[in-house]
Structures are given as C-alpha cells and as structure tokens.
Structure 1
C-alpha cells in the first residue's frame, strides 16, 4: 500500500475518505473532462460531475484504496486508469455517440471538378506522361495500368519512378523526400 495512504488512512473512516477525495478531486475532474470532451459528442459539465461521483462510488464500493500498491504505479496513474474506465462505462451506458476520427471517411472531391495538369515541355516522354496520368489522375494501380498498356507492372513502377525523379529535378525538389504511391 502507498505509504502516503498508509500514514493518512490506516483505517478508512468516512472523514478520511472525504479528505482523500478532496485532495484528488481536481485531478479526477481533469482526467474525466479531457477524456469525455475529446471523445464524445454532446458531453457536458453534468456528465463530468456524474462520472466523478461514479469514480468515488467505485473506489469506495470496491475498496480500491486498500488494494492500491505504490510499487505498481503512482497514485495519479492509478486514479487516471480508474477515472478513464468509469468515463468509458458511463458514456457507453448512456449510449453516447463515440467519434473516432480515424473511422471517418475522407471527404470526397466533387465529381465535376476536373484537375488538369500540364507537364513541363520536354521533361517527360509520352509513355511517362501516360503512366503518371493513369496512376495519379486515373487512380489506377500499377497492375491495372500494366494491363491497359500491355506491359508488366514492374515496368509501370519503373516508368513512374523515372518520371517522378525527372519532375523533382525540374522543380528543384530532388533533395526533398516524399512518399509517393
């Protein structure tokens, strides 16, 4: 058990438990509010207060203070884990909408908007221009381009690479590294 808690709360009375929560309530509220407001739509201050109360109930009801060990984690880490778990349970129980930005589809560009790019004169060969247009503006994979042109996908990737190198040199971006698919 944490020596801090042992010294202050050898036997946990109602007064001592109240003292423990008074000392740690700001940390708990901070954790709960940051988590709830960053992850859930429509969360409000009342939700934060409710979750903080549920954290206190969970700690008291399950006698978590007696189970706490400073060898495993700090008091702040311990409170963080409990607070976050209770917040997730609370929001799930209340059927709140959870937004994960990674799950959102990318916003598609309007279909009628056509991007036209004119390649610099005498930089790329006709075949290189054709391959670059099919890959980048036609959204085709190297295998699909290869099928249409009657060449291997390895050749398509080689032509694309050579074209990109030429364009980088032309636009003085040879030293700049970018991932191009």
Structure 2
C-alpha cells in the first residue's frame, strides 16, 4: 500500500481495508465487467482490472468509507454507483467510443424508416408541418427555426408541442407514455 495512503488513513487499519475489499471485490468486478463490456467497443479484461483498481483508489483517496451511511443506501448500491462512475470516467478519459448495443439495431431500422416516412396530409397546419420538418429532419434547434421563420423560440416549441400532440392522437399514441432511459 502507498505510504501516502497509509499516513492519510491511519484510523482504518490495513487489515480492515483489506477485508473490506476482499469481501466486495467480486461485486465491484461484476459491476465493472458488465458495464464496460455492454457499453464500450474494444474493451478488454485489462480495462476491467484497471477500473477496479481505480475504484479502490477512489474509495481510499476520497475517504468514501467514512462518508458511507447505511441509512441512505445499502453497501451494494453505494459500491455500484462508485464503480459505474469510475468506469464511465475511465472510458471517457481513454477516449473509448460509447455504443449502447440495445439501441444499435433499432437505430439502423430507424434510419431506413426515416426516408420512407411522410407526415399525414391534413393533420398538421402548414406552420406545424414546417416546424416539425425543420426540427426533426433538418436537425435544427428551436432557436435556429425561430430565426428562419421570424418568430420566437418559445413559439416554435409551442408549435412543435401542438404538432406532436396532433400526431399522437392521429396514431393513437396519446394515451401511451414514452419510456426515457
């Protein structure tokens, strides 16, 4: 163990620290392993080992053990949050490409459908149709659409909202709530 860490954490013995990590390392490794391999392309076992080491270092360095409260969460939840945060930081630091595998197949299908989709006639007003096309197909922000149409961005957002409500009613999706993850 690093001498800096020994001096800083005198109140926790090396044996107690060793026991803590010995009891929880398999859980930490499982969390890191599942997260890295499900979310990042090109990850390998050495990344998992490095992230696990960084989790331990972060817990020690930031004195998280003394800040832990069993009233707020269980030890597993607490370790899960720390492990996942460290894994995300590690992969960002190493410029790894993030890909959500669950969305990958849906994305390809959306790309195919995107070109074939036409807004229904006589559902939206001319202005609503124009705003929807500029925002969703033109990839413009409300401010950019507002500048082009000579209206306020608040009006653009209101028009977009009204158009979406009409489209939901038309496609019988008004009663279904969308799940945001």
Gaps in structure 1 of 5+ consecutive residues: 1-10, 112-136, 148-156, 162-178
Q: Distance in 1 between matches of 2:125 and 2:12?
A: 74
Aligned residues: 116
Deviations 1:85-111 (A, max 9, x none): 0000000000000013547353527x9
Higher helix share: 2
Q: Which of 116, 121, 129 is equivalent to 1:142? A: 121
Q: Distance in 1 between matches of 2:79 and 2:23?
A: 12
Partner of 1:15: 15
Matched, 1:70 2:49: no
Q: Distance in 1 between matches of 2:49 and 2:83?
A: 12
Measured after TM superposition, the shift of residue 138 of structure 1 is 7.5
Partner of 2:112: 108
3-state SS of paired residue (1:95): coil
Measured after TM superposition, the shift of residue 52 of structure 1 is 0.2
Partner of 1:46: 46
Partner of 2:29: 29
TM-score of the two chains, using structure 1 as the length reference: 0.55
Q: Distance in 2 between matches of 1:138 and 1:48?
A: 43
Q: Distance in 2 between matches of 1:102 and 1:13?
A: 46
Q: Distance in 2 between matches of 1:32 and 1:14?
A: 24
Q: Distance in 2 between matches of 1:140 and 1:43?
A: 42
RMSD (CA atoms): 3.2
Greater Rg by CA? 1
3-state SS of paired residue (2:80): helix
CA spacing shift, 1:52–1:144, aligned 2, 3 Å? same
TM-score of the two chains, using structure 2 as the length reference: 0.55
CA spacing shift, 1:47–1:140, aligned 2, 3 Å? same
Structure 1 runs (4+) greater than 4 angstroms displaced:
144-147
Q: Distance in 2 between matches of 1:52 and 1:28?
A: 7
